[in-house]
């Protein structure tokens, strides 16, 4: 029997935050079964821990959504580091090998943090009307004076869409037909809609074609957004995302 752990990440309250399944010893699981297992859990991500390719590192980690493998994701990195520390397989400093390369993670007092130096990649996004349809909003709800919608990622791409008002963010709802019409790759389109108020950001992430109707919090999307806004503003940025 293969053991697994389930964590709620980005929270101190059970049954809130982001759920994550961690298989701490995935050695011996058939390649074809990895996606099937992730689909069975049906969480936004399921992680499989394997021996590291470099013996100096802590572990190799493969991340799966219900529909595909990801090269990088935020809350799975945090949750897996906590899991390995709890199993005595890592001290305060560890290095996890992800699809984007080694990621240093620090674990202390039940908390984990990591730094990624993966270069930001950008690409054109779907049209503004198409994205408005994805979010069940009017095109006028999307703000473009700071930046137009753009696809950006640090290993996992997200379409970043700035909205005009918090009321628009609250009203947003994923339109499946809109996502199907806008997506060139159905499993790839993930939309992070956000409102910026100074250094505070409210955001919601939708990826219904990837099996994630809405993610409670998305670390990899937040990292991509911070990196992109730093690029737009021309300086290093620090944001609070309550």
C-alpha count within 13 angstroms, C-beta hemisphere, residue 101: 7
CA distance 157 to 118: 13
CA distance 162 to 242: 17
Helix, strand, or coil here: 207?
strand
What is the end-to-end Cα distance of the chain in Å, rounded? 39
From the list 110, 117, 115, 130, the residue with the least C-alpha distance to 191 is 130
- The tokens describing 154, both together, are 């640090």
- Sequence-ordered list of residues with C-beta below 8 angstroms from that of 6, at least 6 positions apart, any chain: 19, 20, 21, 22
- Sequence-ordered list of residues with C-beta below 8 angstroms from that of 74, at least 6 positions apart, any chain: 218, 219, 220, 221, 222, 223
17 strand-pairing partners = none
> Which residue numbers are catalytic?
45
Q: CA separation (Å) from 164 to 146, 151, 218, 227?
A: 11, 19, 21, 21
- The tokens describing 156, both together, are 């996992």
């Amino acid at each position: 029997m293969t053991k697994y752990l389930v964590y709620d990440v980005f929270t101190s309250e059970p049954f809130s935050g982001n759920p994550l399944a961690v298989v701490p010893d995935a050695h011996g699981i058939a390649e074809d079964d990895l996606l099937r297992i992730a689909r069975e859990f049906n969480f936004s991500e399921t992680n499989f821990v394997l021996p590291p390719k470099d013996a100096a590192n802590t572990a190799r980690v493969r991340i799966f959504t219900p529909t595909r493998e990801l090269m990088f994701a935020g809350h799975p990195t945090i949750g897996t580091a906590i899991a390995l520390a709890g199993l005595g397989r890592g001290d305060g400093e560890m290095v996890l090998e992800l699809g984007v390369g080694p990621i240093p993670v620090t674990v202390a007092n039940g908390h984990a943090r990591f730094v990624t130096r993966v270069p930001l990649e950008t690409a054109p996004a779907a049209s503004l009307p198409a994205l408005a349809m994805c979010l069940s909003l009017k095109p006028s709800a999307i703000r473009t004076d700071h930046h137009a919608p753009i696809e950006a990622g640090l290993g996992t791409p997200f379409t970043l869409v700035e909205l005009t008002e918090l009321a628009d963010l609250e009203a947003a709802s994923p339109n499946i037909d809109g996502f199907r019409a806008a997506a060139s790759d159905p499993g790839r389109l993930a939309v992070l809609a956000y409102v910026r108020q100074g250094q505070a950001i409210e955001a919601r992430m939708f990826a219904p074609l990837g099996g994630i109707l809405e993610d409670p919090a998305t670390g990899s999307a937040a990292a991509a957004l911070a990196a992109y806004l730093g690029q737009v503003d021309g300086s290093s940025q620090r944001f609070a995302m309550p």
